[in-house]
A and B are shown apart, each in its own frame.
Chain A
Amino acid sequence: MKVKSGLMLREIAGEWVVVPLGARVVELNGIITLTESGAFLWRLLEKGAEENELTAALLKEYDIDEATARSDIGRFLDTIRQNSLCEAEVAKEAGEVK
């Protein structure tokens, strides 16, 4: 999955936020806040990363077990999809996640 272009991840006074740029404000007018690990995943999603890569990276970076990592990532990706923050995927891929 890849997050859409025109969404800038910024760290403001220790808080992670995503701000829509230019024309993106048409569809998303506001600011999204992310946790530290959310921002970590976001950076990987900017380059386009599949769920397995995200899980591996999260396990390497944070001291959590795989089941927790998978369920956290699943929820995170769902939220991203629900808010249309990612580039369009083919239906099959979307169905695979969870």
Chain B
Amino acid sequence: MSGGWAKIYQNIINKSIIEGAPTAGFFELTSRCNFHCKMCYVCSMPEDRSYLQNELTTQQWVELGRQARDEGLLFLTLSGGEIFMRKDFFDIYEPLSEMGFNITLFTNGSLIDAEKARRLGERPPSKVSITLYGACPETYGRVTGHPEGFDKVINAIKLLLAENIKVELKTTAIKDNYREFHDIYEIADGLGLTLGVVNYVAPRREGCGTDPENNRLDPIELARYEKMLQDFRLKHTDMKKLKKVLKISVDEDVMTEKTIGDAINKLLETKKTDCVFNCTATRCAFWLSWDGKLTPCGLLTEPSVDVKKHGFLESWKHLKSAGLDVPVCNECNSCQYRKRCMTCPARLKVETGRFDRPAPYLCELSKARAELEVIY
């Protein structure tokens, strides 16, 4: 037996990439949300019938969980929209929790009351990952449209912790909240929790009434923000001597799959691969949308396979082969800023409409990072 979470995780992912097994996946249970964040890539209205009608049913999610489990799914994240908008959330979650997954829940936290926390505590997920949109009701109002959300979320975090549920916080930086970073960090630190920072805000995939591109930071603002995070990290590292542990990580965005580490890159060199994804997408990871589309990651609407028609295994096979047809961006490959850039096929596609065209937003960001010497 061996321990060490990061090592175990990386080892399983490495093996899965080589085998092409679908080990990591997102189930996007709904696109509906009680919040309406200005930058959201997916959000639809809470009771929108046209969306409700097309959501996979309770039984479909449970059955797809079983099928995916039989093909090797281990790391399962449930996300939305807001997962707790589904009245049948526990009817989906509880059976999934008995199938042999390591489950993470993505939620805005605001709908978690004492009863839900207690019920989760009976069969806890591996962790609950909550996004903090600000450090006060005013900022919550500006970002999510719900000032009252702030107190609810803080209360939910405390309820979950009281149930001994592992909680992780993250924050998504946009114009309306990025100046509050330090206060958000203080909240996380005060609760003894890690804070992840989502720094890349993608254009909208679907949904209504949100406007990511006009609310995200400009490339230069973002590079400055990253520089600030870098300095903050350095300062806190010094403070380690004072026994203050630094708990901050930059996660880019959370809908793209995990970047492949150096070790796996070396492994892949020895095994020829035509896949241009520089992450786990279509290699060993997938995204399953609220209406049953299997895609490489949460940013993309194509390539896409309808699981309702093909079932999980067939869909995964289709997705893997469709992933191989995604073209490479030659300009990115030979670009001097490549190392500082977060280019990937999915980001290029949502930014420019093509997989193989450099994205101005990412190019400007990379140049600004170079000027400010943001280490990436």
> Which residue numbers of A lie inside 8 Å of B, CB to CB?
8, 10, 12-15, 17, 19, 21-23, 25-26, 29-34, 38, 76, 79, 83
Binary contact track B194-213/A, C-beta < 8 Å → 1, others 0: 00000000000000000000
Residues of A within 8 A of B1 (CB): 32-34, 38, 76, 79, 83
Check B122 against A19 for contact (C-beta < 8 Å): no
The distance in angstroms between the C-alpha atoms of A34 and B2, with both chains bound, is 7
Interface contact A13-B12, CB-CB below 8 Å: yes
A54 CA to B11 CA in the complex, in Å?
A: 28
B98 at the A/B interface (Cβ < 8 Å)? yes
User: How large, as a class, is the contact surface on chain B?
Assistant: 20 to 34
> Which applies to chain B's interface (DSSP): helix, strand, loop or mixed?
loop
B115 at the interface (CB under 8 A from A): no
1/0 per residue B99-132: CB within 8 Å of A? Answer: 1111000000000000000000111111000000
Nearest 10 interchain pairs by C-beta? A13-B15, A13-B16, A8-B100, A22-B123, A13-B19, A13-B21, A25-B124, A19-B100, A22-B98, A22-B97
CB distance from B71 to the nearest CB of A (A): 10
**B164 is an interface residue with CB less than 8 A from chain A:** yes
Chain B contacts of A32 at CB under 8 A? Answer: 1, 3
In the complex, given contacts A12-B15, A17-B8, A25-B123, what are 15 additional A-B residue pairs having Cβ atoms less than 8 angstroms apart? A12-B23, A14-B15, A15-B11, A19-B74, A19-B100, A19-B101, A21-B100, A22-B94, A25-B97, A26-B122, A26-B164, A30-B102, A30-B126, A31-B74, A33-B2
Q: Mark B1-17, 1 if CB is under 8 A from A, else 0.
A: 11101001001100110
Number of A-B contacts (CB under 8 A): 74
CB-CB under 8 A from B46, the residues of chain A are: none
Hey, which chain A residues are within 8 Å of B19, CB to CB?
13-14
**Contacting pair B72 A13 (CB below 8 A):** yes
Bound-state Cα–Cα, A34 to B8, Å = 11
B237 → A minimal CB distance (Å): 27
B166 touches A (CB below 8 Å) = yes
Answer whether residue B372 sits at the interface, using C-beta atoms and an 8 A cutoff: no
Which residues of B are found within 8 Å of A83, using beta-carbon distances?
1
- B228, CB-defined interface residue at 8 Å: no
Give a binary string over B70-99; 1 marks a CB under 8 Å from any A CB, 0 the rest: 001010000000000000000000100111
Chain A residues near B8: list those with CB within 8 A.
Answer: 17, 31, 33
* Partner among B5, B12, B124 whose Cβ is within 8 Å of the Cβ of A15: B12
Inter-subunit contact A17/B98 (CB<8 Å): no
The answer to whether A29 and B12 have CB atoms under 8 Å apart is: no
Interface centre among B11, B12, B23 (most CB of A within 10 A): B12
Query: In the complex, A33 Cα to B23 Cα: how many Å?
Result: 15
CB distance from B125 to the nearest CB of A (A): 7
Closest chain A residue to B163, Cβ basis: A26
Beta-carbon contact of B125 and A15 below 8 Å? no
Residue in A13, A17, A79 whose CB lies within 8 Å of B18: A13
Report B3-41 residues with CB < 8 Å from chain A CB. 3, 5, 8, 11-12, 15-16, 18-19, 21, 23
Expressed in whole angstroms, the Cα–Cα distance for A22 and B90 within the complex equals 12
Interchain CB contact under 8 A, A31 and B72: no
Contacts of A38 in B (CB 8 A): 1
11 contacts between A and B (CB under 8 A): A12-B15, A12-B72, A13-B18, A13-B21, A15-B12, A17-B74, A19-B74, A25-B124, A25-B125, A30-B3, A33-B12
